Amino acid sequence: MTEDTTHRIPRHTTRIVLAERPHGTPTAATFRTEEAELPAPADGELLVGHRYISLDPYMRGRMSAGKSYAAPTPVGDVLPAETVSEVLESRHPDFAPGQLVVAYGGWQSAAVVPGAHARAVAANGLPASTALGVLGMPGFTAYAGLAEIGRVREGETLVVAAAAGPVGATVGQLARAAGARAVGIAGGPRKCAYLVEDLGFDAAIDHRSEDFGERLAAA
């Protein structure tokens, strides 16, 4: 039995759009909050309400007009983001109202998305937000980089840049689980302490330290 969501199907969304291209650090003027009407989903589409919205480093690059691996976000468009969303209305045979999915819904409260680009959130007893983190794009990136490309082996030493971020943190923990030594690089003493004390890295190096080269070689 699926949940009846008819009584709460939204017809408008609150969204955050790119108001102007930032120069340096984005400011409040970079963004604009607005209300917009939602179209009815067509065949193959889903109307979803967002539970969680991702905030990832790649988004800063998409705010700029410079050449990159992904197209820049046009000024006036919704900021792109993966979301954990509840299906409120479905025109796709693989999804039903009440189901949680990962979609590319953007920085807004609700959206109409292609069902072909959505995936169901696994009922594994873990918080649904993990589908945007360790069981989502950052976790998949970490696993593919380590297991399929780096192929770290027991007894080896792995150095992880940006180790306090979601991808780096997962890489280091996977390396330790595989029997390798994990040396993390991060900015500042708090992040370095987090890597060793909370995540189990064997060593952490502050890239801002004057003797960074010597510390890295020693580790």
CATH code for position 34: 3.90.180.10
| 14 and 100 inside one domain | yes
Please list the residues that pair with 216 across neighbouring strands.
Answer: none
- Asked if residue 127 is part of any domain, the answer here is no
Domain end residue (candidates: 122, 152, 172): 122
| 14 and 117 inside one domain | yes
Domain end residue (candidates: 66, 98, 122): 122
What's the first-to-final CA gap in the chain, in angstroms? 56
pTM exceeding the 0.75 threshold for the entire prediction: yes
What CATH number should be reported for the domain holding residue 145?
3.40.50.720
Contact (Cβ atoms closer than 8 angstroms) between residue 69 and residue 89? no
- Asked if residue 1 is part of any domain, the answer here is no
Contact (Cβ atoms closer than 8 angstroms) between residue 170 and residue 138? yes
- Asked if residue 58 is part of any domain, the answer here is yes
The answer to whether the Cα torsion of 146, 148, 150, 155 is positive or negative is positive
Amino acid identity for residue 108 in this structure:
Q
Residues 186, 184, 82, CA angle at the centre, nearest 5°? 70
Q: Is 146 helix (H, G, I), strand (E, B) or coil?
A: helix
Q: How far apart are CA 166 and CA 106, in angstroms?
A: 19
| 111 and 182 inside one domain | no
Q: How many domains does the chain have?
A: 2
- Residue-wise pLDDT for 21-46, tens only, equals 999 999 999 999 999 999 999 999 99
| 12 and 100 inside one domain | yes
Instruction: Look at residue 7 in the predicted model and tell me its pLDDT.
Output: 53
Q: How far apart are CA 104 and CA 84, in angstroms?
A: 9
- Asked if residue 55 is part of any domain, the answer here is yes
If you ran DSSP here, which 8-state letter would residue 147 be given?
I
List the domain range (segments joined by +) for residue 41.
Answer: 6-122
Instruction: Look at residue 9 in the predicted model and tell me its pLDDT.
Output: 86
- Asked if residue 148 is part of any domain, the answer here is yes
Instruction: Look at residue 204 in the predicted model and tell me its pLDDT.
Output: 97
For 25, the token pair is: 């650090």
In which residue ranges of the chain is pLDDT below 70? 1-7
Instruction: Look at residue 1 in the predicted model and tell me its pLDDT.
Output: 42
| 111 and 144 inside one domain | no
| 110 and 159 inside one domain | no
- Asked if residue 128 is part of any domain, the answer here is no
Domain end residue (candidates: 122, 146, 175): 122
Instruction: Look at residue 66 in the predicted model and tell me its pLDDT.
Output: 83
| 43 and 106 inside one domain | yes
Q: Are strands 119-120 and 12-18 parallel, antiparallel or unpaired?
A: unpaired
